[in-house]
Amino acid sequence: SAAQIASSDAQVVLGAESSSVTLNFVDTITSKCKVQLSPANTATALSGYSSYYFRTAPPDTVQGSALGNLIVGDGVQKLGFLVFNDAYGTGLRDVVEDTVTKAGGSIVYGAKGKGQEFAPGQTTFSSEVSAVLAAKPDAIAILAFDETKSIVPELKAQGWDMSKVYMVDGNTADYSTTFAADTLTGAQGTIPGAQPDATFKQRLVDFYKTSANADLKDFSYAPESYDAIVLAALAADKGKGTDGPTIQANLAAVSGVNGGEKCADYASCLALLNSGKDIQYTGKAGIGPFNSENDPSSAFIGIYKFDATNVPVFQKSIQGSTN
């Protein structure tokens, strides 16, 4: 697919969702001077990767710091990790570990350099869960994707208090039809991005109902996806061209790196551009202007807590900086 896009007339590529997937094809896209703009990549390895690679999701330095501070703030002294051996998982683990240890805590299982990560796609976790519980942590951070669906039942079966579990954007999801009621009550997770406002949520719900004939329940990275496309359009408008190099050269400017008048939607931003003014598109996600590594200079991280139906419920947002 990446090769087909690279040889096509497309000048902007939205995606990928997964950092590991992006790392498999980013060179194919950016080497053709096409802009790759991901709304969901968070791996630190992608910061400054290419002058043609941008993202509207913050790198894991922001989410990892937020999660680490949440864990420390909850009084955790000894933390265990169940983390898969993937650029996303280990990169996020490293930031959380650094935050926790600098605050005086310790990592009792799954720390960097211990070789205790598991393989992506693994489906049985009896030995890993036994090992982390044997280390007697105060809390466990699960850094994984679908593997979580196998890890959680094993933790429950081995008697772990599930309110002492922390997750991240890769697995903070609706498990109401996956686990028995009350399985995850009190567990917490983080998802980068501002909480979408009610009006924007309804627009998304209505669109999804029309296009997919289904009910939209998960809004993760929806604001970032929307903002990525608007930013690309505004960059083309500012540069008066729809080719990749023109869009690349103007993305930082329309994000507000040079200051400028703030505007929240495409129409008002375009009007300002047409009048010759510099702009800062503030958008739906509330990210700061792109920094020198083409990452958002600031972003919001949402804190969620699972209810008795195993659904993560938004608690609050905290703003973090990548600078």
Q: What is the mean pLDDT of residues 137-155?
A: 98
Q: Report the pLDDT value the prediction gives residue 323, as an integer from 0 to 100.
A: 60
- How many angstroms separate the Cα of 239 from the Cα of each of 20, 56, 244, 264? 32, 20, 11, 20
Listed in order, the ranges of the chain carrying CATH 3.40.50.2300 are 2-57+201-286, 61-193+303-321
Q: 2-57+201-286 — its CATH code? A: 3.40.50.2300
Looking only at the bridges linking them, the beta strands covering 188-192 and 165-167 are parallel
- Which tokens in the block code for residue 320? 């973090």
Rounded Cα–Cα distance for residues 128 and 308 (Å): 26
pLDDT score, position 196 = 85
* Residue 137 to residues 101, 109, 151, 219, Cα–Cα distance (Å): 14, 8, 16, 32
Query: To which CATH superfamily is domain 61-193+303-321 assigned?
Result: Response regulator (3.40.50.2300)
d(CA 67, CA 189) in angstroms, rounded, equals 8
- Measured between alpha carbons, how far is residue 258 from residues 24, 27, 81, 93, 250 in Å? 33, 28, 41, 34, 11
User: Is the per-residue pLDDT at 322 higher than 80?
Assistant: no
Instruction: Look at the alpha carbons of 235, 21, 67, 94 in this order and tell me if their dihedral is positive or negative.
Output: negative
Q: Rg (Cα) of the chain, in Å, rounded?
A: 20
Q: What is the pLDDT of residue 212?
A: 97
Maximum Cα–Cα distance across the chain: 65
**CB 224 within 8 Å of CB 57:** yes
What digits encode the pLDDT tens for the residues 159-214?
999 999 999 999 999 999 999 999 999 999 999 887 888 999 999 999 999 999 99
Give the C-alpha distances (Å, rounded to integers) separating 7 from 1, 51, 171, 190.
10, 19, 34, 38
Q: What is the pLDDT of residues 204-214, one digit of tens each?
A: 999 999 999 99
User: What are the pLDDT digits (tens) for 91-133?
Assistant: 999 999 999 999 999 999 999 999 999 999 999 999 999 999 9
For 208, the token pair is 């999804």
Phi, psi of 156 (to 5 degrees): -60, -45
Where do we find the tokens 């009190």? 186
